[in-house]
Amino acid sequence: MEQISSARNPKVLNLLALQEKSRERRRQGLFVVEGRRELEHCLEAGFSVHTVFFCPEIAGEQLPEALGDASIIRISPELYRKLAYREGTEGIIAEVYERSLGLEDLKLPENPRVVVLESVEKPGNLGAVLRSADACGASAVLVCDPLTDLYNPNLIRASIGAVFTVPVVACSSEEAISWLQGHGIRILTAQLQDSSLYYDCDMRGATAVVMGTESTGLSQQWRCAADAHIRIPMLGRLDSLNVSVSASILLFEALRQRR
């Protein structure tokens, strides 16, 4: 087992580059997962691990199973604290091979619940939406015209591994609309204009809830493709909620209606 204590080691520098630069993640086909729980979700989803950096003083000697032929590198507590984004991640950081899903790869149950996000920019918001999607048993999340890559470390951290437990597909809005309509999934767009209260809308069948950015909302192509426009009542002076909060409200309403 290799042991590293220097922050200037080339393998450590490469790990930092993968954490910080999306172009390096794309070029190498690798991304970074920090934390035992997140890595276990990743392995359960069938991802392959390239390298594991672990600190036995923090992680203990027991590593997750199913690491295959991944390289194992032991690092010092001092180096781990320099590399880790947050405390409490059990002393494990891994480089994992990317794997992309396409719309054609999605396997839908009867009456699926799908979340669609158009041009959501902040990885923390997308990660939080994925947590809600996992909690309510959503069938898939479609990220249309994405402004952040799906393996951004902030997204993985914010999702607490839900990016591995919920099928996530990056695609264009045109592709998503065609796919939803082709599968008979009703499109509900969250918008203020020309809309009905969300709890008055029937969400018991195959449903896709579509949300845009807080600043610009949804594009016209989604508004035109919608089978219904829905809104969350706003009784204060502000006219919008964080997209992750809106997603939670709408997803759990869809779940409630099916109970």
Give the pair of three-digit tokens for residue 84: 């880790």
Average pLDDT over residues 2-24: 95
Average pLDDT over residues 74-103: 88
Rg, C-alpha atoms of the chain: 20
Instruction: Identify any residues that bridge with 114 across adjacent strands, giving them in sequence order.
Output: 140, 208
Average pLDDT over residues 202-207: 96
Average pLDDT over residues 16-44: 94
**Cβ pair 112, 140 in contact under 8 A:** yes
Confidence of residue 10 (pLDDT cuts 50, 70, 90): very high
What is the CATH topology of the domain spanning 103-257? Alpha/beta knot (3.40.1280)
Other C-beta atoms within 10 Å of 200: how many? 8
What is the CATH topology of the domain spanning 2-97? 60s Ribosomal Protein L30; Chain: A; (3.30.1330)
pLDDT for position 148: 79
* Residue 87: DSSP 8-state: S
* Domain boundary assignment for the chain: 2-97, 103-257
Average pLDDT over residues 159-176: 94
pLDDT for position 25: 96
pLDDT for position 70: 94
Other C-beta atoms within 10 Å of 204: how many? 10
Burial 86-124 (b: 16+ CB within 10 A, else e): eeebbbbbbbbeeeeeebeebeeeeebbbbbbbbbebbb
pLDDT for position 238: 81
pLDDT for position 240: 80
pLDDT for position 73: 95
Q: What is the pLDDT of residues 92-135, one digit of tens each?
A: 999 999 988 999 999 999 999 999 999 888 899 999 999 999 99
Confidence of residue 167 (pLDDT cuts 50, 70, 90): very high
pLDDT for position 87: 65
Residue 215 has pLDDT above 80, yes or no: no
